[in-house]
């Protein structure tokens, strides 16, 4: 916590305190077909400034980043870097000019060494007589890793590293180019707690050295912790710029979505409802001795840092991972189901975390995807009842306000928010007794998040549905849960209800 | 509606692409027909049309089974041998058991398919390796059974299936149409059909949706084997014999028919309607080239090129990491 306070202190200054502008962009334009991704947007980044670009999905943040990183050529506008015109025609030329970016997606090669990944595409630097001088390469990589405080052997294979560490290697790659401007796009989405801490410390160091940082994150707390200035965009257009001190989180959200967020009212009097799910001493790979109860109409959230084991508990209830000890009781009966089809048959649904890999089939249409969960529900003797399936799809689209021309629209043609709604519809339409939600609003923008919360609230009341959620999004945990159970190193570390659900309480129990 | 289409830029182009995938095979078929009609005056005749339909029957039956496998993003290289083996088995047992030999052809195909399915699904061996092995082994079995010489079929009913007709429509064309109707229903109206598309579109998603992946894989390979078995029966009836070289090279035509018909090797899309069109295109291509006097050597080169071009056009490169 001391670190956070430290960041806040160094972040006290306003834009006036910065000596000079490094990067200036004016009147940027970019059109994709009929859609204006970016309309007349400008920004100024000073030496030592950390500027957070904020906006919902589709606001145009990524396009701005890609323009600055040399990936996308703007249709109009001017950019200057240290006063000189800056027109990168490739990522490599942007890097040479001093602008480096860490992308949201993973960009490491699993079967090569850490050092090779740090200097990916720039191995020429270590060439001697046509062959690579490995000693020099490893020494140079070691130096960058040391700057980041990463205790990794530069010879180690990338495949042996955690996703979070892989992301840190990408950060090391950007650092090794000695950038004047560093672009970080949703980097913390892939980082665990310790690495995120390291990143925020590093950001403070870099700013002290006069580097300018452009930052995008859906996690608003980070912006208040580590950035100095906020620029808000909406629908591809510029909204406003101001120092972080002049805003709070709800004001910033309001600017991003264009309206104020209402506060969730916790539903009282659930303690005497019948128990739908009871776990007793459940243990397995990644979690141990987890006991809890979820009642009808109640939302219980397992809150933990990435890798805490909260996901694994949900997976175990769903039958996706094995249980080594303990029992699962569903609706008063022991649930013996040990695989996914049996869990679905028993009335359990699960919205997975990785939508693209585990959630939806991109190439298939909405109706196909909604009907896919528990195919037997609309079938008799192996034959699917097409009209029942199409009724389900229509109901799902209505219930979740999915914006698409028809149920025959392929999922890949939908926006991220609408995809997420299809995923939720798919599982709610199985009429579950218990729904497991693993980070149900991951990667969707604030507006859709709120919509999903409203639907969740409505559905659990109307259907008396028991909800067990796992979430890494602190704002979400605090907003929607009736009971929060914190998980640390695979075990329960605290149970919080009502007024006790505060950020401080939860964080202390999670770390 | 208008603001919605504006917020989803790829909607319009995406739908056009889907529609193109559906209609492309039809357009190619029409173009090929027009082309040959101009080059050869024998091409457009009732007799040649009948020949084409008869020739297309074996290919389209085998290709319907293969469509399910390719929709599942797997591959079957053993089609030629399984079809040939079934043809040989039918001819062999027909010597002593008469028409009762026909089910033996079907069962041998289904059994070999199920065997491939088990090795693929349970032992996690890539389907192209398992079926490549079966392609070679199956040919060996054919040589054993036939001792290298064709086994003649004397059964009249069997010969009627191969060369006779019902009300002017060749019997084997009717057999192919029935096989198509069954495949169409399986694809569009059964849990198995949905499961196949789901596995091809995203195996992990299918698994998390409660589909028992291994069972579907084994079942699909058995189903495709059944279709190969049927194709073998039809082939033997057409040739009037079980020849040790029956079905040789058929796997290439089958894969080409499926892919040209709009089912990409990356799976999750397409279907048997396109495959019928694809089988007609392949058959007409070789029929037309024959009529145009192109040598069979050159035809092999053209066929190989057509297959590769069709794959290049159709695959979903976003899924390139998972081709099996």
Residues 6 or more apart in contact with residue A363 via CB below 8 angstroms: A410, A411, A412, B201, B268, B269, B316
pLDDT digits (tens, 9 = 90+) for A62-108: 889 999 999 899 999 999 999 999 999 898 899 999 999 998 878 88
Inter-chain CB proximity A360 and B202 less than 8 Å: yes
pLDDT at position B12 over 60: no
More confident: A504 or B144: B144
Please state at what angle helix B127-146 crosses helix B79-97, rounded to 10 degrees.
30
Share of chain B above pLDDT 90, in %: 75
Residues of chain A predicted below pLDDT 50 = 1-15, 260-261
The pLDDT, as a whole number, for residue A2 is 39
What residues in B contact A311, CB-CB < 8 Å? none
More confident: B142 or A132: B142
By DSSP bridging, strand A383-384 and strand A434-438 are: unpaired
CATH of domain A2-98+179-257: 3.40.50.300
Residue in A372, A409, A414 closest to B194 by CB:
A372
Residue A503 burial (CB count, 10 A): 12
List the A84-85 sheet strands across, edge first.
A84-85, A76-81, A21-32, A35-46, A237-243, A229-234, A50-54, A212-216, A181-185, A99-102
Q: To which residue do tokens 């009609």 refer?
A: B37
The pLDDT, as a whole number, for residue A255 is 84
Measured between CA atoms, how close is B184 to chain A, in angstroms? 12
What residues in A contact B316, CB-CB < 8 Å? 363
Backbone angles phi, psi at B243, to 5 degrees: -95, 145
Domains located in chain B, CATH noted: 54-310 (1.10.3470)
Residue in B4, B13, B212 closest to A341 by CB:
B212
Residues 6 or more apart in contact with residue A84 via CB below 8 angstroms: none
The pLDDT, as a whole number, for residue B307 is 87
More confident: A5 or B17: B17
Q: Does A274 touch chain B (CB under 8 A)?
A: no
CATH 3.40.50.300 range(s) for chain A read 2-98+179-257, 273-347+432-511
The pLDDT, as a whole number, for residue B135 is 97
Backbone angles phi, psi at A120, to 5 degrees: -55, 130
Q: Give the Å distances, CA to CA, from B7 to A126, A364, A452, B1, B226.
A: 47, 21, 19, 10, 48
A484: which strand partners?
A: A301, A496
Q: Does A415 touch chain B (CB under 8 A)?
A: yes
Helices (H), A383-415: 386-399
The pLDDT, as a whole number, for residue B9 is 37
Q: Give the Å distances, CA to CA, from A190 to A95, A107, A494.
A: 23, 12, 25
pLDDT at position B8 over 60: no
User: Is there a contact between A405 and A381 (Cβ–Cβ < 8 Å)?
Assistant: no
The pLDDT, as a whole number, for residue B1 is 33
Residues 6 or more apart in contact with residue A188 via CB below 8 angstroms: A196, A199, A217, A219, A222
The pLDDT, as a whole number, for residue A438 is 95
Per-residue pLDDT, averaged over B118-147, amounts to 96
The pLDDT, as a whole number, for residue B318 is 63
Give the residue from A10, A446, A3, A474 showing the smallest Cα distance to A227. A10
Inter-chain CB proximity A409 and B201 less than 8 Å: no
Size of interface A-B (CB pairs under 8 A): 107
pLDDT digits (tens, 9 = 90+) for B163-212: 999 998 999 999 999 999 999 999 999 999 999 999 999 999 999 999 99
Q: Does A401 touch chain B (CB under 8 A)?
A: no
- Classify A273-347+432-511 by CATH class: alpha beta
Residues 6 or more apart in contact with residue B79 via CB below 8 angstroms: B62, B65, B66, B228, B247, B250, B251, B254
Determine which of B1, B11, B202, B209 to mutate to test the interface with A (most A C-beta atoms within 10 Å).
B209
What residues in B contact A341, CB-CB < 8 Å? 210-212
The pLDDT, as a whole number, for residue B82 is 98
Q: Which of residues 161-220 of A touch B (CB under 8 A)?
A: none
Per-residue pLDDT, averaged over B87-94, amounts to 96
Name the residue of chain B whose CA is nearest to A369's CA: B198
Instruction: Output the pTM of the full model.
Output: 0.74
The pLDDT, as a whole number, for residue B6 is 35
What residues of B are in the A interface, CB distance below 8 Å? 1, 4-11, 13-15, 18, 189-195, 197-198, 201-202, 204-212, 268-269, 316
Please state at what angle helix B191-201 crosses helix B46-71, rounded to 10 degrees.
70
Q: Does A361 touch chain B (CB under 8 A)?
A: yes
pLDDT at position B32 over 60: yes
What residues in B contact A374, CB-CB < 8 Å? 209-210
**Long-range contacts of range A142-150, CB-CB < 8 Å, 24 or more positions apart?**
A142/A115, A144/A118, A144/A172, A144/A175, A144/A176, A145/A114, A145/A118, A145/A172, A147/A172, A147/A175, A147/A202, A148/A172, A148/A175, A148/A198, A148/A202, A149/A198, A150/A198
The DSSP H or E segment spanning A326 is: strand A323-330
pLDDT at position B3 over 80: no
User: Is there a contact between B192 and B66 (Cβ–Cβ < 8 Å)?
Assistant: no
The pLDDT, as a whole number, for residue A1 is 38
Inter-chain CB proximity B14 and A410 less than 8 Å: yes
Name the residue of chain A whose CA is nearest to B209's CA: A373
């Amino acid at each position: 916590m001391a670190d956070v306070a430290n960041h806040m202190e160094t972040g006290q200054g306003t834009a006036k305190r910065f000596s000079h502008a490094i990067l200036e962009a004016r009147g940027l334009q970019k059109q994709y077909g009929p859609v204006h991704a970016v309309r007349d947007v400008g920004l100024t980044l000073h030496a030592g400034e950390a500027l957070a670009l904020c906006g919902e999905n589709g606001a145009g943040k990524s396009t701005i980043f890609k323009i600055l990183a040399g990936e996308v050529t703007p249709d109009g506008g001017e950019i200057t870097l240290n006063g000189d015109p800056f027109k990168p025609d490739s990522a490599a030329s942007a890097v040479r000019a001093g602008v480096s970016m860490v992308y949201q997606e993973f960009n490491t090669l699993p079967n090569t060494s850490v050092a090779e990944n740090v200097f990916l595409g720039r191995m020429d630097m270590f060439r001697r007589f046509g062959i690579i001088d490995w000693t020099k390469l490893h020494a140079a990589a070691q130096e960058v890793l040391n700057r980041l405080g990463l205790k990794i052997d530069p010879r180690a294979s990338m495949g042996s590293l955690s996703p979070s560490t892989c992301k840190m290697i990408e950060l090391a790659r950007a650092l090794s180019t000695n950038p004047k401007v560093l672009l970080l796009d949703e980097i913390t989405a892939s980082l665990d707690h310790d690495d995120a801490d390291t990143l925020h410390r590093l950001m403070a160091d870099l700013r002290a050295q006069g580097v300018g940082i452009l930052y995008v994150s859906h996690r608003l707390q980070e912006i208040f912790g580590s950035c100095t200035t906020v620029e808000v965009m909406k629908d591809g257009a510029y909204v406003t710029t101001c120092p972080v001190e002049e805003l709070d989180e709800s004001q910033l959200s309001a600017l991003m979505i264009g309206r104020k967020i209402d506060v969730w009212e916790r539903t009282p009097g659930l303690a005497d409802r019948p128990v739908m799910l009871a776990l007793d001493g459940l243990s397995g790979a990644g979690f141990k001795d987890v006991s809890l109860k979820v009642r009808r109409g109640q939302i219980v959230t397992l809150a933990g840092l990435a890798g805490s084991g909260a996901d694994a508990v949900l997976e175990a209830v769903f039958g996706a991972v094995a249980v080594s000890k303990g029992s699962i009781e569903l609706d008063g009966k022991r649930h013996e189901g040990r695989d996914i089809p049996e869990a679905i048959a028993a009335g359990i649904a699960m919205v997975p975390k990785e939508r693209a890999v585990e959630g939806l089939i991109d190439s298939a249409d909405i109706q196909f995807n909604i009907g896919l969960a528990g195919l037997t529900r609309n079938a008799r003797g192996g034959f699917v009842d097409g009209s029942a399936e199409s009724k389900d799809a229509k109901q799902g689209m209505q219930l979740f306000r999915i914006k698409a021309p028809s149920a025959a629209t392929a999922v890949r043609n939908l926006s991220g928010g609408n995809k997420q709604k299809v995923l939720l519809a798919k599982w709610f339409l199985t009429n579950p007794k218990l729904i497991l939600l693993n980070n149900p609003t991951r990667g969707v923008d604030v507006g859709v998040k709120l919509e999903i919360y409203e639907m969740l609230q409505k559905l659990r009341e109307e259907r008396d549905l028991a909800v067990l959620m796992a979430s890494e999004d602190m704002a979400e945990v605090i907003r929607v849960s009736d009971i929060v159970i914190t998980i640390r190193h695979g075990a329960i570390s605290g149970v919080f209800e009502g007024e006790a659900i505060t950020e401080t309480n939860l964080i202390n129990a999670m770390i | 509606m208008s603001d919605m289409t504006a917020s989803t830029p790829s909607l319009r182009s995406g739908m056009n692409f889907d529609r193109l995938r559906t209609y492309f095979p039809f357009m190619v078929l029409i173009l090929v027909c027009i082309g040959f009609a101009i080059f050869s005056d024998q091409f457009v005749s009732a007799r040649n049309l009948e020949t084409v339909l008869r020739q297309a029957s074996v290919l389209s039956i085998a290709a319907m089974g293969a469509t399910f496998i390719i929709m599942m993003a797997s591959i079957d290289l053993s089609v030629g041998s399984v079809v040939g083996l079934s043809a040989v088995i039918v001819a062999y047992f027909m010597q002593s058991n008469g028409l009762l030999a026909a089910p033996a052809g079907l069962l041998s195909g289904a059994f070999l398919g199920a065997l491939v399915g088990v090795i693929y699904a349970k032992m996690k061996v890539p389907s192209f390796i398992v079926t490549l092995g079966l392609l070679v082994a199956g040919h060996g079995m054919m040589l054993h059974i036939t001792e290298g010489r064709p086994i003649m079929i004397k059964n009249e009913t069997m010969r009627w299936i191969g060369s006779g007709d019902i009300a002017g429509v060749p019997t084997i064309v009717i057999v192919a149409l029935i096989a198509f109707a069954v495949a169409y229903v399986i694809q569009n109206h059964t849990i198995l059909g949905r499961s196949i598309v789901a596995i091809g579109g995203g195996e992990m998603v299918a698994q998390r949706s409660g589909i028992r992946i291994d069972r579907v894989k084994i079942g699909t390979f058995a189903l495709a084997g059944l279709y190969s078995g049927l194709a073998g029966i039809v082939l033997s009836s057409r040739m009037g014999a079980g020849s040790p070289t029956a079905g040789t090279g058929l796997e290439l035509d089958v894969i080409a028919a499926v892919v040209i018909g709009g089912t990409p090797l990356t799976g999750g899309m397409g279907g048997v309607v396109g495959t019928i069109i694809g089988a007609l295109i392949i058959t007409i291509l070789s029929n037309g080239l024959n009529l145009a006097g192109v040598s069979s050597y050159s035809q092999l080169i053209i066929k190989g090129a057509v297959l590769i071009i069709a794959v290049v056009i159709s695959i979903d490169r976003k899924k390139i990491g998972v081709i099996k």
